[in-house]
């Protein structure tokens, strides 16, 4: 089955994307972001979790957290291309909030069948959530977890939980016998301890979460299958966030090199600056095209969703690395200072680059699909 030429990116999608861009531009310009998250520069600082909760509430009221929730359980049931457009703008603003985390949980729950309806309803009503499915080694093998489920309780630790301190719920993966179950747990439930990580990225928080005899019920006992179905959307949306952030990096750097004069010319006059910035643009466009292709595949061509999503995230990880490096390099001395905004995106992108699989990992998965696994 082939995809619609226009990705089904119609009126509605364009409208939402534009209004989101306007929303962040009006309410959360970068200087505000910097003031909020860059207060403490001490390199040995513990993790902070600074974010604009009232503004986030506005986003919830706009229904952005319910976009991906099926209509059957009170959500808006929007296609992934629409959501990708919103997330691209989120990335452009580098806005600290649990939107991606909640969307990731939503797509996973949506793949869990009837057992997830209660949880999805909570999200439709404005609850936020994050996936707690990664082990200490951050293996991207979906069956890997350091949490066990037995006698109705969860025990163990989930690592690299994104925006853990901003969310109400966790969707936890745990070994149950030889299988993998997914569990819906409140972050304030008895036995749940959130241990914040001190991370480089100032626009997100991250934690490892300990579970001590946390009583829970399985949303599904076929966790791997559910995650497999959800990951293409999850990879694609992170790639979309990266694209938006990279576009910010490109435009900000272009503006700087057009004003900054050296040797009687703006820096942008010099091909040593001009051509690499063109290569940044080329990477961004490649990635953006692959993002909407992947999103559209999730919506209309599930048989190829994983293939295209691997392309999107592999491309995004390369884009994040290159765009970040060039943005600091071409800002020169000023770009190396804390007061300049570029490091906020530099750090967010480095975080995104390595999250949910780096470029090489996604290409290896892609090769398994296109060439076949190595015997």
Give the footprint of a copy of itself on this chain (CB under 8 A).
270-272, 275
CA–CA dist 91, 252 (Å, integer):
14
From residue 151 to residue 170, what is the string marking binding to another protein with x (rule CB under 8 A)? --------xx----------
Our CA angle for 59, 63, 68, nearest 5°, is: 115
Query: Over the range 158-192, which residues count as b (16 or more CB within 10 Å of their CB) and which as e?
Result: bbbbbbbbbbbbbbbbbbbeebbbbbbbbbeeeeb
Q: Identify the CA nearest to 124 among candidates 139, 110, 138.
A: 110
**370 scored as a contact of another protein (CB under 8 A):** yes
Q: Which is nearer to another protein, 150 or 282 (CB)?
A: 282
CA–CA dist 306, 328 (Å, integer):
33
Question: H/E element holding 28?
Answer: none
Region near another protein per CB under 8 A, out of 56-64, 168-176, 218-226, 333-341? 333-341
203's torsion region: left (phi>0), alpha (psi -120 to 50) or beta? alpha
Please list every residue from 170 through 189 that binds another protein, using CB under 8 A.
none
Our CA angle for 6, 8, 10, nearest 5°, is: 90
Q: Which of a copy of itself, another protein, none lies near 358, with the C-beta cut-off 5 to 8 A by kind?
A: another protein
Contacts of 141 (CB under 8 A, 6+ apart): none
**278 scored as a contact of another protein (CB under 8 A):** yes
**337 scored as a contact of another protein (CB under 8 A):** yes
Q: Which is nearer to a copy of itself, 140 or 269 (CB)?
A: 269
| Residue linked to tokens 């919506």 | 299
Q: Which of a copy of itself, another protein, none lies near 188, with the C-beta cut-off 5 to 8 A by kind?
A: none
Q: Which is nearer to another protein, 202 or 219 (CB)?
A: 202
User: Can you tell me which of 311, 320, 345, 349 binds another protein, judged by CB under 8 A?
Assistant: 311
Q: Which is nearer to a copy of itself, 1 or 374 (CB)?
A: 374
- Please report the DSSP string for 203-256 in residue order: S--EEEEEEEEEE--EEESBHHHHHHHHHHHHHHHHHHHHHHHHHHHHHHHHHH
Contacts of 123 (CB under 8 A, 6+ apart): 65, 66, 69, 75, 102, 105, 106, 109, 129
Q: Which is nearer to a copy of itself, 190 or 371 (CB)?
A: 371
Please list every residue from 209 through 228 that binds another protein, using CB under 8 A.
none
Spatial contact of 95 and 24, defined as CB atoms under 8 Å apart? yes
Please list every residue from 33 through 62 that binds another protein, using CB under 8 A.
41-47
Q: Which is nearer to a copy of itself, 176 or 273 (CB)?
A: 273
**249 scored as a contact of another protein (CB under 8 A):** no
**14 scored as a contact of another protein (CB under 8 A):** yes
Tokens of 63: 């229904």
Region near another protein per CB under 8 A, out of 60-68, 108-116, 227-235, 290-298? 290-298
Q: Which of a copy of itself, another protein, none lies near 285, with the C-beta cut-off 5 to 8 A by kind?
A: another protein
User: Can you tell me which of 52, 117, 168, 358 binds another protein, judged by CB under 8 A?
Assistant: 358
**Residue 274 beta carbon to a copy of itself: minimum distance, rounded to whole angstroms:** 8
**Residue 139 beta carbon to another protein: minimum distance, rounded to whole angstroms:** 5
Q: Which is nearer to a copy of itself, 190 or 374 (CB)?
A: 374
């Amino acid at each position: 089955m082939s995809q619609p030429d226009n990705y089904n990116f119609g009126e509605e999608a364009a409208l939402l994307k534009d209004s989101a861009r306007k929303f962040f531009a009006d309410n959360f310009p970068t200087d505000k972001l910097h003031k909020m998250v860059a207060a403490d520069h001490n390199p040995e600082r513990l993790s902070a979790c600074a974010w604009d909760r009232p503004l986030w509430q506005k986003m919830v009221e706009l229904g952005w957290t319910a976009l991906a929730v099926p209509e059957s359980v009170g959500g808006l049931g929007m296609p992934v291309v629409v959501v990708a457009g919103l997330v691209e703008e989120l990335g452009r603003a580098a806005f600290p909030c649990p939107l991606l985390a909640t969307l990731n949980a939503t797509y996973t729950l949506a793949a869990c069948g009837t057992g997830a309806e209660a949880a999805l309803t909570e999200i439709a009503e404005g609850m936020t959530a994050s996936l707690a499915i990664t082990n200490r080694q951050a293996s991207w093998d979906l069956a890997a977890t350091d949490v066990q489920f037995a006698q109705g309780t969860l025990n163990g630790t989930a690592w690299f939980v994104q925006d853990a301190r901003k969310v109400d719920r966790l969707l936890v993966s745990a070994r149950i016998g030889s299988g993998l179950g997914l569990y819906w747990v409140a972050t304030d439930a008895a036995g749940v301890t959130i241990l914040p990580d001190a991370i480089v990225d100032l626009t997100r928080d991250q934690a490892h979460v300990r579970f001590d005899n946390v009583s829970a019920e399985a949303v599904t006992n076929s966790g791997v299958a559910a995650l497999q179905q959800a990951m293409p959307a999850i990879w694609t949306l992170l790639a979309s966030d990266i694209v938006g952030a990279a576009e910010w990096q490109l435009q900000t750097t272009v503006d700087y090199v057009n004003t900054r004069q050296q040797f009687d010319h703006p820096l942008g006059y010099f091909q040593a600056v001009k051509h690499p910035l063109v290569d940044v643009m080329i990477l961004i466009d490649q990635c953006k095209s692959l993002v909407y292709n992947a999103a559209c595949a999730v919506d209309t061509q599930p048989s190829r969703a994983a293939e295209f999503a691997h392309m999107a995230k592999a491309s995004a990880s390369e884009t994040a690395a290159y765009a970040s490096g060039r943005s600091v390099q071409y800002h020169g001395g000023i770009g190396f200072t804390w007061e300049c905004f570029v490091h906020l995106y530099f750090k967010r992108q480095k975080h995104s680059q390595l999250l949910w699989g780096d470029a090489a990992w996604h290409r290896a998965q892609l090769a398994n699909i296109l060439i076949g696994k190595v015997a």
